[in-house]
Structure 1
Amino acid sequence: MVHIRTVRLAALGISAALVMTACAESERGDDDGQSGGGQTGGTMTFATEGAPKLFDPFYATDGATFRTSQQIFEGLVEFKPGTADAEPGLAEKWESSEDGKTWTFNLRKGVKFHDGTDFNAEAVCFNFNRWYNQTGAGQSPAVTGYWQDNFGGFADGKTPSLYESCAATDESTVELKVTRSTSKLPDILGLPSWAMQSPEALQKYKADEVVAQGDSFVYPEYATEHPTGTGPFKFSKYDEANGTVELVRNEDYWGEPAKLDKLIFRAIPDETARKQALEAGDIDGYDLPGPADWEGLKSAGHQLLIRPAFNIFYLGIGQKNVAQLRDLKVRQAIAHAIDREALVKQQLPEGAEVAENFYPDTVTGWTDEVESYDYNPDKAKQLLTEAGAQNLTVNIYWPTEVTRPYMPSPRDLFGLIQGNLEAVGIKLTVVSKPWNGGYLEDVDSGKADLFLLGWNGDYNTPDNFVGNFFSDPNNRFGTGNSPWGATLSDEIKAADSEPDADKREQMYVELNKKLKSEYLPAVPISHSPPALVVTKDVSGLVASPLTDERFDTVSIASS
């Protein structure tokens, strides 16, 4: 599983409202009220922390690709700007069968792809069947990780799939069938991975011809030069040398046209360099300003847009390599050793909170009845002694060359955690690697005994958090090496498949209790609010708890 992913969220209870003979209907016309006033025209340049790897969102795993995709493409389901609410996108309404296995989507009419071809029910099913029928390199987890994480296997039947079939019952009606009820639907369809793409362009530019080349992949012309969606912006060009993407307004957009003539995303990996570019007037805004810079940016007259904290930062405890880490008392000792309150107060921005569950309290099934591990070094030492682990020696990984919304300064966060663990007698072998230069690979392959990581929620279901973390026993935590690993996996899958919303919520409450008292595969540490910053000349940009900002409502004053 790759963890540079777009942060997504849906409203509390939205899935519950839609599972049992559910129905959602659009109240949005061509103008949803978000565009407001403001000047039309001009170019906005926004700096991101990385360059996109490609422009086909189905094959994407990185946030920079998703940010671009969110302007070019649209899905059947979207997320209301600035909120946690799932809302109609290219589907005006939907409903599910009582057993949650059949979903009927009524599509918006009069929508065209950027190449002038029609968006209709056949196009929707073409996209679903394209995803399901991947072969060869297209089945690599590095290429279609999102499909495999969320829908499972492919048409060859080697691995079970959530997807069963898609049928166009008429030009504007789609019947989607899945193999079991899941809490993921319909919210999951708001992810960029499931955006609708032009069937004609996909075929013309051979979108599925991905080729493995050593440990990397070569993507076809469609993914690098011809992404074709229905969104308010169209792809114009990409300067790979400078990591700069240029988008232009879609004059034939079905809804309210974008106000900007052009939108440019410019990759500036270093946060200090992003800040300097803003101060120099080279850019109009940037993502993930460091918490230490927030007050200074506001004092300089810039606008700081703070997103709600829909994430989790945790210390992972691998159980693959060191047998002592499979002892619950040892894991509890580690939890008691960490001063989470001090970490939140000293290292994280205002609004950050200590985490008790593995997801925020806006997600169904969160409970305050979990076991809480207060900062207690003496208790930690006692537990280590009881477990015969007074001389515990483990490696601990922390990432370099990265800033994550839940982990704004990895070095500083690691320093505090390191000091806490060493203070109770745990001997640490420290390993630091670049985020995209070995860190994620080592952690995902189980090399790390302890590791700093987190998750930005994709949408508001517990499964998007605990399911992504622990449902597969062969995960980065090595839970398959513990006697309860398979049980935890089964409990997660059972909860996700429960069609009754009230029963499902209670199942997650009980699961959260066991995750803290019986399993403890990691120590949940904090929820931290990320931000973005724009100049005073920018208006209409709505901060999203999902980092799902849409720039079609943005205006920029003439300088």
Structure 2
Amino acid sequence: FTLLDNVKFHNGQTLTSADAKYTLDALFQAGGYKGTAFYDTINGQKQPHIVSIETPDTKTLIIKVGRPALVNQLLSNLVAIPIIPNNTIEQQKTAPIGTGAFKFAKFDQLNNIVELDAYPEYWEGAPKISKLVVKTVGDANALQAELQSGRVDIVPNPTNFSADTFNSVGQNPNLQVVQTSGANIRYISFNVSNETLKNAKLRQAVAYAIDREKIIKELLSGQAKIAHSVLPEDSWAYSAGTKYTYDPAKAKQLLQESGYKGEKINFKIAAGSTAISQYSQVIQNSLKEVGINAEIETLELNTLLDQLKQGQFQMTTAQWVGGNQDPIFLRDLF
């Protein structure tokens, strides 16, 4: 890799190959989610994709991989890695430094607000907006109120808004709703280690029992498509695979074959989203119609995430934020 000229960090320091090497070395030493993308697990042992990282001069970074097939995979994974200055790993925890158009100003942890100031020495030119204030609002009603009152200027991809909320917001003359095609997928996740849900036929019965067209028509105002793959349909690698179309008769047949006896299945969802609550109820009713006893449990998001990490769930729903990049990135996840 040859680094661009005159790229400066937010502390005024010029980006060099040593910074890139430091970032990658720190990532691999720390482990964690992003680091796992650069390893294979063979016979229980982690095998690194990268053999060595060299910096022959300040502008050149050489990354050697174990075999040619890993090159595209490496390029895909590097996209998500922001480079930080040499020897700043501890500072990144409280005052992060990068090379982007906006630099960190402050973080109001109590109110979940991050302030970013324009960086005049950004390598592609100073941004025209002087400041960004990024606020996390988990509750859909609170977010709508913030937007309609003018306290918020833009809400990108508000996935917790229902179709009715979009329609309501669109009727406000001071607001504009911009719709684009997306690759976000809402899916159901099963805990296959659970004694009940480790039965594949039961999981298949769930898939055939859910009327996704009804969810799209009645709850999403037709503004969605049924997903048959984690990849979007316009991807060169798209394959629909097995299509689980709405078929309650087949669901009942699979249910009988599975030996399911009406055991209660816990369906955990996150609080704060009207949309999630609405379609989860549709799913619950669809399952009830074929004889599956699903009980919805609504939890605060952080509590839900903690329980999911510990495997304390049977069934839940989540969102996959996909894309149209080379699908080799899926290898690291699945």
Give runs of aligned pairs for residues 46-85 of structure 1, distance below 5 A: none
Equivalent residue for 1:388?
259
Q: For residues 421 and 129 of structure 1, what CA distance do their matches in structure 2 show? A: 49
Q: Which residue of 2 aligns with 1:538?
A: none
Match of 2:190 in 1: 317
Matching residue of 2:169: 297
8 Å contact from structure 1 (residues 294, 304) kept in 2: yes
In the TM superposition, what are the counterparts of 1:328-477 in structure 2 within 5 Å?
A: 328-368=200-240, 370-389=241-260, 391-403=261-273, 409-437=275-303, 439-457=304-322, 460-465=325-330, 467-468=332-333, 471=334
- Equivalent residue runs for 1:475-554 within 5 Å: none
- Over 3 Å counting, the alpha-carbon distance change for 1:264 and 1:329 in structure 2 is closer
Deviation at 1:259, TM superposition (A): 0.3
Residues 24-82 of structure 1 show CA distances to partners (whole Å, capped at 9, x for unaligned) of xxxxxxxxxxxxxxxxxxxxxxxxxxxxxxxxxxxxxxxxxxxxxxxxxxxxxxxxxxx
Look up the equivalent residue of 2:283 and give its one-letter code.
Answer: I
CA distance in 1, matches of 2:259, 2:222: 40
**Is the partner of 2:265 in helix, strand or coil?**
strand
Structure 1 contact 321–447 (Cα < 8 Å) conserved: no
CA 1:130–1:282: 2 relative to 1, 3 Å: same
SS in 1 for 2:320: strand
1:313 to partner: Cα distance: 1.8
Paired residues of 2:237 and 2:327 also in contact (CA < 8 A) = yes
Q: Would you say the 8 A contact 1:364–1:462 is kept in 2?
A: no
| TM norm structure 1 | 0.54
Distance 2:248 2:266 in 1: 19
Contact 2:264-2:293 at 8 Å conserved across structures: yes
Once the 2 structures are TM-superposed, how far is the Cα of residue 361 of structure 1 from its aligned partner?
A: 1.6
**Residues paired across the two proteins, number:** 326
Native 8 Å contact 1:248 1:262 kept in 2: yes
Q: Deviation at 1:333?
A: 1.9
Q: For 1:430 and 1:241, how far apart are their aligned partners in 2? A: 30
Q: Give a deviation string over 1:95-144, Cα, whole Å, max 9, x none.
A: xxxxxxxxxx121011121212111212211211121223xxxx4xxxx3
5+ residue gaps, structure 1, are 1-104, 209-220, 472-559
- Is 2:23 aligned against 1:127? yes
Following superposition of structure 1 onto structure 2, how do residues 170-319 of structure 1 map, counting pairs within 5 Å? 170-180=57-67, 181-182=69-70, 183-191=72-80, 194-200=81-87, 202=88, 207-208=89-90, 221-224=91-94, 226-287=95-156, 288=158, 289-301=161-173, 302-319=175-192
> Which whole-Å CA distance do the structure 1 matches of 2:255 and 2:237 have between them?
32
Higher relative contact order (CA 8 A, sep 6+): 1
Once residues 298 and 399 of structure 1 are traced to their aligned partners in structure 2, the CA distance between those partners, rounded to angstroms, is: 27
What is the alpha-carbon distance in structure 1 between the residues aligned to residue 228 and residue 331 of structure 2? 13
| Deviations 1:446-483, CA, capped at 9 Å, x for gaps | 33222222311266233545752xx3xxxxxxxxxxxx
Question: Any conservation in 2 of the 1:187–1:459 contact (CA below 8 Å)?
Answer: no
Say if 1:237 and 1:330 are closer, same or farther in 2 by CA, change over 3 A. Answer: closer
Pairwise CA distance, 1:328: 3.6
Aligned to 2:33: 145
For 1:334 and 1:282, the matched residues in 2 are separated by 42
